[in-house]
Structure 1
Amino acid sequence: MKRRHFLYAAGFGTMAGLTGFNPAFARAGRTVTQICDDFLDAYVRINPTLVGKVFGLERNSSAISDWSPAGAEKAAALMRATLAELADTPPLNRKEELGAAFLEDTARAILAGIEAGEPYRKMSTHIFIGPPALLLTSFEQMSQGQSGDVPVSADARDRDWANILHRLEAVPTAMAGYRQSLELGLVRNLPAPRSMTLAVAKQCSGWASQGWFAKFAARYPGGALAGPLAAAAAKADRTYGELGQWLAQSYAPKASPEDGIGSERYLLYTDLWLGLRTLDLDEAYGWAVEEFHRLEAEKTKESGRIRAGASFEDIRTQLDGDPKQSLAVAPFRDWAQAEVDRAIAKLGESEFDIPPQLRTCKVQMTEAGSGAMPFYVAPSEDFSTPGTVVWPTLGKTELPTWSANSTIYHESVPGHHIQIGGSRLLDLVRLQRVAGAAGHAEGWALYAERLMDELGWFDTPQKRLGFLSMQSFRAARVFVDIGLHTGRKIPSGMEGAGQPWTAATAIPLIDRASGLGRDAAAMEVERYYGWPAQACAYKLGERVWLNCRADAMAKAGAAFNRRKWHADALAMGPLGLDTLKQQLAKL
C-alpha cells in the first residue's frame, strides 16, 4: 500500500496525552472502517488543538494537546498499534482500500518522525505546527457565545466561555510540557536551530507584552466568569512571557547554529507533507529553477503589455501605488467575497457540480497572522460553520486587488473549498473525509489557479500578472526551501550564484518572484525554516496534477471530458503524491 498523509498534520511533536489509551486496543474481527474510525477518535483525544484548528472537529473542546515527552510516547504507541492491526486486516472494498492505505501511511510517517526525535526539537512560528502559535490561535476558532446573528441565552454564552476558561487554565501545563520536550532534546543532542528559536521567543514575548490572552478574555461581556477568565488569561500571558524569555536566554545559546535540517531529515518531511517517499532532491531543485525562469520570462512579457519596455518591478510599483488597484480592508473583504461568490456561481454551471453545502464560502479578515498569505479553514463536519478564507492584513490599511484574484481562486473555488470542503461529502471513511494530504491539497489549489487562467478569468494584464507572480513565487519556494535546508547552492544567473542559500539571499529572491513586498518575503523565509518541505507541496503537487491530466487527455483524445475527470479525481479523496499518480493513471 502506498503512503498517504494528513493535511497539515501537526507534525512529529504535537502529540497529546490520551487518557486511558491502551496500545493493545485491537479487537478480533474489526473492519478497516472501524479501525479508521477508532483511530480518528483516538487522535482527536491525542491532539485536540490541531484537530480543532485544522480538521474542524471539537473546536470548542477545553482540552489541549500534550507536547510533553509523555505525549509523544503515547502517540508513538497509537501509531504502532494501528499499524499492527492494519497489517492483519484486509480491506473489504475500494473505500476501505483507500482508507487503509491513507491511515497506514499517516501512522508510518508520524512514527518515523517520533523515532527520529523530531518532537524534541520542534520549533516553529507557524500557526499550524508551532505549539505556542497553534495553541494561541486555536482560541480564535472557539465559540464565544455567538450563533451568527441569532441571540443566545446567557447560560449558553457562559457554557461557551466556560470551555474557553478551562482551556486558558491549561495553557501553563501545556507550555511546560513543550519546554520539557525541548529540554530532553538538548540532553539527547537534538537541538533546534538558533535562528528559529529566537523567532519563536520573539513571537511569544510579543504576545505576552501585548496581553493577547487578557484582551481575548476581555471579549467576555460580563458575568460570573469575568474574574476567573481575567485571572487565567493573566497567567497565560505570564506563561508565554516566561517561555519567550527561557527560549531566548537559556535555550538559544545551546541551540544549533545551523538553520537548515539537512537532506536526511528533510526527506522525513517530504514524506509527511507530500507523500513522496523517495523524492530526488536534485531533480526537484533543477526542475523548479527552470520553471522559475520560464515564469519570470512570462512576467516580463505581461508587464510589457501594461507598459512597453517596463520591468515587473516597475509595474509592481506602479500598480501598488495606483489607488484604483487597491481597497481599504472592509471594502476589500466585500470585493473578495463577491469574487468568491461569482466563481461559485459561474463554475457551478460549467466546470463542477457544486452541492448546496459548498455554495457558501466566507471571506474573513484578520489582523493577526504568522504567515503573509491567506489560508483556508475547512467547514465543520456538519457544515453548520461554512468554509472560510482567512486573509491576514498584517497591519495594512489597504490591500492590492490586482494580485489577489489568483489567491482567491486558490483558497476558495475551484481550489481548497471544492477539494477540502468537498471531501466532507465523499463516500470515504470518516478519517479520509476530514483529513487530507498537503501535496494533494496545495497541488490541486495551484492547479486551480492555472485552470482559471486557461478559462480566461485573468482577463486583464494586471490580473494575469498577479497570477504569474504567484506561480513564480511557488516555483521559487521549491528551490529556496530545499536549498536553505540541504545546503544546495544558488543556481547560476542569480545573485550569489555558487554560494549556499541564506535568509539574506532568499528574501530578495522571494520578493522578486512574488511581488508581495520585502516584509512578506521575510515572513515566508521564516516559514520555510519552521515548516520544512511544506512549501514544496504547491509546485510539485501541481506538476503531478498537470502531468496526469495531460496523460488522461492523450489517452482519451477527443473523448476527454475535463468536468468528469475533475469529479472522478477529487472523488478519490486526499492521497499522497506517489499514490495520486498511480490512481489518476487509472481514470
Structure 2
Amino acid sequence: MASVHEICDQFVDDFAAAHPVAATEIGIPGHEDQLTDYSPEGHAARASLAKRALAAVGAAEPVDASERAAKAVFTERVGLEVEIHDAGLDEASLNVIASPVQDLRQTFDLMPTDTPEHWATIAARLAKVPDALDGVRASLLVAADAGNAPALRQVTKVAAQAETWAGLSGEAGFFDSLVAGAGNVPDSLREELRHGAHLAQEAYAELAGFLRAELAPKARAKDAVGPDAYRLWSRYFIGAALDPQESYEWGWAEFTRLEAEMREVAGRLKPGATLAETAAALDEDPRYRVQGRKNFENWMQELSDNALKALRGKHFDIPDELMALECKIAPPGGGAGAYYTGPSEDFSRPGRMWWSLPPGRDEFSTWREVSTVYHEGVPGHHLQIATAVAERSLNRFQRLLAFTSGHGEGWALYAERLMQDLGYLSDDGNLFGMLSEQLFRAGRVIVDFGMHLELEIPKGTGFHEGERWTPELGLEFMLTRTITDPPLVRDEIDRYLGWPGQAPSYKLGERLWLQAREEARARGVDIKDFHTRALRLGGMGLDTLREQLAELYSADHYQSDRQSRRSASRRSASS
C-alpha cells in the first residue's frame, strides 16, 4: 500500500492534469497549452478523483508524525472540496473575484512570454478559451435548474468584467493587449495569436450576453446565502466550525477596540480631527503621494525589496529562492485591491504581488498601502506561501494545494501588525494606514456574518440598532464607519456577497495566530523559531493548525521534527 505522502504526491499530478488552470496557478509544468473543463462533466471528474484519493489516504496508516499531519491536512481540505461538489456549489461558482470566469483570464498573467515557444503555447491555450467558457455556461445552467443559481448582483457584475476583457468598455480588450506584447515571433505565429485573441474576446463577449440575457432571469434576487450554505463555505475558508454568534460579537468588540486605537493615533497626527478628517489630511500630504502608475509600481517594489533585505536573518530565516518577489500592476477589469500569486514549484517563476488600480486614477496615497505591501509580500503571503513551496519535509499537496484563507490570510494580517512590533511602522501616518486596514477587516467580520445570516445589529453600536443586516446597510456601515476608499468599499461588498465566509477569515485567522504566539512565549519558545517552524508546517485549516501548533510545543516534537526532515531529504533524493 502506498504511503500517505505518496498518495498525496500522486494526487497533485492527477489534479494538475484534470485542472490545467490550477496547475498553472501553482506552477506545475506540462499543462500550459490546456484549459480546465468547467462543464458539469469536468466538475464530476475532479470530484471522483478527490473521492478516490480520500479513500486511499483514509486507508493508509501514517508511519510518523509528518504523515499523521499530512493525513489530517489532506482529509480536511479535500473532504471539504467533495462536500462543496456534492452540494452543487462548484457548478454554481460565479462571483466578482475568484470563479472560473476570472481564473480563465488570470491564467494568462502567469504564463512566460520570453521565447517564440512560449508564445506558441499561449496561442494554443487562447484557442481553447471558447470551449472552456462553454463549459462554464453549461455548469451555470445546470446549477440554476437545480436551484443553485448565483445572485443577480454577481451575474451583472461579472458580465461587466467580461465586457471589459472583451474590449467592449472603451479600452482595448485584454487578449488583444496580451498578444500585442509578442516580440520576435514568426508572422504565422503572430497571426495565430491575433486570431486566438479575437476568439477569446468574442467568447467573453458572448459570455457577457449569456449572463445578462439568459442567466440573469434565473438568478436569485437575494444576496444572502443563508445558514446552510454559509456554514459550509465558512468551514471551507476558515477550516473550522465556528459559532457564528460568538464570531459576530467578537467582530464588534474588535472593531470597537480598533476604533479607539485609531483615535489615539489620529490625535497625534491632527489633534481634534475625526478619523475621516485625519485620512483626508494624510491624502493631501505630499510625503505620502505618488504620481503615475509606473511610479506606484516602483514604490511598492522598492518597499518590498527593502523588507526582504531587512527581515532576512534578523527576524526570519529566508532562503535564497524567496528573495525574488515581483511587484506588478494587474490588468484592468478585476476588482480593486492587491493580491499575491505564488512561485512555481521550481521557483523559475517568482512570487508576485499584483495591484488592481481603479480605472482613470493616476495619483496614489501610500500611507494606506505600506502595510498592504507587507501583507502581500514579506512577512505576509510571499514568506508564508513560498516557504511552504520550498519546504521539502512536506509532500506536494501540503506545499502546493493546502492553502486555506483562515491560515493564509490570518497570517498575512498578523504580519501587518508584526511589522509594527518590529519597528517598521514608526511613522504615524503609515501606522494609521495599517490600523485602518485592521479596522476594515474587523468590519468584514461584522458585515459578512451579518448580511449572509441576516443578523440583528446590537444595541450600543450607534448604527441602525435593532435592524437586521442588508447589503445596503453593509455598504453604509463600511462607507461611514471605516476610512477605506469608497470605490474599494463598493467592490468589497460585492465580493463578500459572492464569496460567503471568506472575508471573516482574515481577522479570525489572525486571532488564532496571536493566541498561538502568546502560548509559545508562555512556554519560553523563541519567537523567530516559532515563526520558522510554524510556517514550515504549510497551509491547513485552523482546527488542524491548532492541533499542529500544540504538537510544536510538545516535549518530543523537536526530535520527531528532525526525523521527519531526514526522511523527507531521503525521499527527495530518491525522486
Which secondary structure state, in structure 2, belongs to the residue aligned with residue 334 of structure 1?
Answer: helix
1:432-456 Cα distance to aligned partner (Å, 9 max, x none): 1122222111111111111111122
Say whether residues 1:56 and 2:56 are aligned partners: no
Deviating more after overlay: 181-190 vs 256-265:
181-190
Paired letter, 1:188: A
Paired letter, 1:94: A
The correspondence for 2:62, drawn from 75, 78, 91, is 91
Show the 5 A alignment for 1:236-251.
236-251=200-215
> 2:112, 2:259 → 1: CA distance?
45
Unaligned runs of 5+ in 2: 554-575
Q: Is the 8 A contact 2:375 2:415 kept in 1?
A: yes
Q: Which residue of 2 aligns with 1:568?
A: 533
Which secondary structure state, in structure 1, belongs to the residue aligned with residue 467 of structure 2?
Answer: coil
The correspondence for 1:108, drawn from 79, 95, 107, is 79
> 2:110, 2:229 → 1: CA distance?
32
1:28-64 Cα distance to aligned partner (Å, 9 max, x none): x2111211111001110121112312x2323870111
Q: Is the 8 A contact 1:60 1:163 kept in 2?
A: no
Which secondary structure state, in structure 1, belongs to the residue aligned with residue 90 of structure 2?
Answer: helix
Unaligned runs of 5+ in 1: 1-28, 147-156
Q: Is the 8 A contact 1:552 1:585 kept in 2?
A: no
1:336-361 Cα distance to aligned partner (Å, 9 max, x none): 22222222222223211112112222
Which secondary structure state, in structure 2, belongs to the residue aligned with residue 399 of structure 1?
Answer: strand
Give, in angstroms, the shift of residue 226 of structure 1.
2.1
Q: Which residue of 2 aligns with 1:458?
A: 425
1:139-179 Cα distance to aligned partner (Å, 9 max, x none): 121112x1xxxxxxxxxx32211211111111111111111
> 2:398, 2:333 → 1: CA distance?
28
Q: Which residue of 1 aligns with 2:410?
A: 443
Deviating more after overlay: 508-517 vs 571-580:
508-517
Alignment CA distance shift 1:536-1:58 (3 Å):
farther
> 2:364, 2:182 → 1: CA distance?
31
TM-score after normalising by structure 1? 0.89
Show the 5 A alignment for 1:402-481.
402-426=367-391, 427-435=393-401, 436-481=403-448
Q: Which residue of 2 aligns with 1:264?
A: 228
Say whether residues 1:516 and 2:484 are aligned partners: yes
Q: Which residue of 1 aligns with 2:108?
A: 139
Q: Which residue of 2 aligns with 1:495?
A: 463
Say whether residues 1:325 and 2:288 are aligned partners: yes
The correspondence for 2:198, drawn from 219, 224, 234, is 234
Q: Is the 8 A contact 1:469 1:513 kept in 2?
A: no
> 1:48, 1:510 → 2: CA distance?
37
Show the 5 A alignment for 1:68-217.
68-126=39-97, 129-144=98-113, 146=114, 157-208=115-166, 209=168, 210-217=172-179
Q: Is the 8 A contact 1:67 1:131 kept in 2?
A: yes
Give, in angstroms, the shift of residue 367 of structure 1.
4.5
Alignment CA distance shift 1:194-1:513 (3 Å):
same
Deviating more after overlay: 233-242 vs 535-544:
233-242
Give the share of equivalent positions with the same residue, in percent.
Answer: 35
> 2:85, 2:414 → 1: CA distance?
33
Paired letter, 2:116: D
Which secondary structure state, in structure 1, belongs to the residue aligned with residue 318 of structure 2?
Answer: coil
Show the 5 A alignment for 1:330-409.
330-368=294-332, 370-395=334-359, 396-409=361-374
Alignment CA distance shift 1:60-1:31 (3 Å):
closer
Q: Which residue of 1 aligns with 2:216?
A: 252
Alignment CA distance shift 1:367-1:516 (3 Å):
farther
Q: Is the 8 A contact 2:404 2:540 kept in 1?
A: yes
Alignment CA distance shift 1:184-1:213 (3 Å):
same
Give, in angstroms, the shift of residue 494 of structure 1.
4.1
> 2:272, 2:23 → 1: CA distance?
50
Say whether residues 1:220 and 2:182 are aligned partners: yes
Alignment CA distance shift 1:345-1:404 (3 Å):
same
Which secondary structure state, in structure 2, belongs to the residue aligned with residue 175 of structure 1?
Answer: helix
> 2:387, 2:335 → 1: CA distance?
25
Say whether residues 1:549 and 2:517 are aligned partners: yes
Give, in angstroms, the shift of residue 131 of structure 1.
1.1
Q: Which residue of 1 aligns with 2:9?
A: 37
The correspondence for 1:313, drawn from 276, 282, 285, is 276
Paired letter, 1:177: G
Paired letter, 1:360: A
Paired letter, 1:67: Y
Aligned-CA RMSD value: 1.7
Which secondary structure state, in structure 2, belongs to the residue aligned with residue 403 of structure 1?
Answer: coil
Say whether residues 1:46 and 2:4 are aligned partners: no
Paired letter, 2:176: A
Deviating more after overlay: 218-227 vs 469-478:
218-227
Q: Is the 8 A contact 2:388 2:537 kept in 1?
A: no
> 1:359, 1:369 → 2: CA distance?
30
> 2:154, 2:271 → 1: CA distance?
43
TM-score after normalising by structure 2? 0.91
Alignment CA distance shift 1:513-1:584 (3 Å):
farther
Q: Which residue of 2 aligns with 1:20?
A: none
> 1:356, 1:119 → 2: CA distance?
38
Aligned residues: 541
> 1:247, 1:424 → 2: CA distance?
38
Q: Is the 8 A contact 2:223 2:471 kept in 1?
A: no
Which secondary structure state, in structure 2, belongs to the residue aligned with residue 375 of structure 1?
Answer: strand
Which secondary structure state, in structure 2, belongs to the residue aligned with residue 422 of structure 1?
Answer: helix
Runs (4+) of structure 1 exceeding 6 A deviation are none
Q: Is the 8 A contact 2:380 2:411 kept in 1?
A: yes
